[in-house]
Homo-oligomer: A and B are copies of this chain.
Amino acid sequence: MAIYDGALQDLIDELGQLPGIGPKSAQRIAFYLLAADKDRVDALASAIQIVKDKVHFCEVCGNVAEAELCRICADPRRSDDIICVVEEPKDVAAIERTREFRGRYHVLGGAIDPINGVGPGDLRIQDLMTRLTTSDVSEVIIATDPNIEGEATAAYLARMLRGLEVPVSRLASGLPVGGDLEYADEVTLGRAFEGRRRL
């Protein structure tokens, strides 16, 4: 349904392919850019291209990085003996925001998801094994998502790591802080019972 002239319609089409952007939002953003200062628009266009040229993945942990190592792997103040395994770089960002963890990360690049054709070989699991056998790590925390794919990945990793004699832990499941017990789903509430702690 090309309603507009060429260039504007092209932009709306391109924007509409971004995740979470429907045709209405695409149109809204396109008109916003049409009315915006040239500097703002150039800044956006170049930020898009620079990210593609400059950002790649850390050689050690698989997090996003502009140098050979990511900011966290390059930081000498962080502890080498705990590795937290996550699915995606955005999970690293989420955990960093808590300021609770001062170790290193390992980013798998996804989770095991047979329906979408993602098997263990598509994830950075072999790299993790190599990393664990060549360095002195006292704990591996598995922080994959608490959904079907993340749990399957956690179970697979736990099995793989059993031979290495490294203690492996999994993030706690339970009631979200600030939430209402009444509105918790059964599975979460069940997990909260299961993982109850003595006071």
A residues lining the B interface (CB < 8 Å): 1, 3-8, 10-11, 13-15, 17-21, 25, 27-34, 38, 40-52, 54-55, 64-66, 70-71, 88-90, 93, 96-97
Contact = CB atoms under 8 A, between A and B. Distances in A.
Given A33-B51, A45-B49, 7 more contacts: A5-B71, A6-B66, A10-B51, A11-B48, A20-B25, A30-B51, A45-B45
Q: So how many copies of this chain end up in the complex?
A: 2
B48 A4 contact: no
A96 B7 CA distance: 18
A68 B41 CA distance: 23
Contacts of A40: 17
Contacts of A50: 7, 10-11
A44 B8 contact: no
Contacts of A42: 49, 52
A119 to B, nearest CB: 18
Contact of A11 (B19, B41, B51): B51
Given A19-B32, A88-B31, A1 B46 contact: no
20 contacts: A4-B64, A4-B93, A5-B55, A5-B70, A6-B54, A7-B51, A7-B55, A11-B50, A13-B47, A14-B43, A14-B44, A15-B47, A18-B32, A20-B29, A21-B29, A30-B51, A31-B88, A31-B89, A41-B52, A42-B49
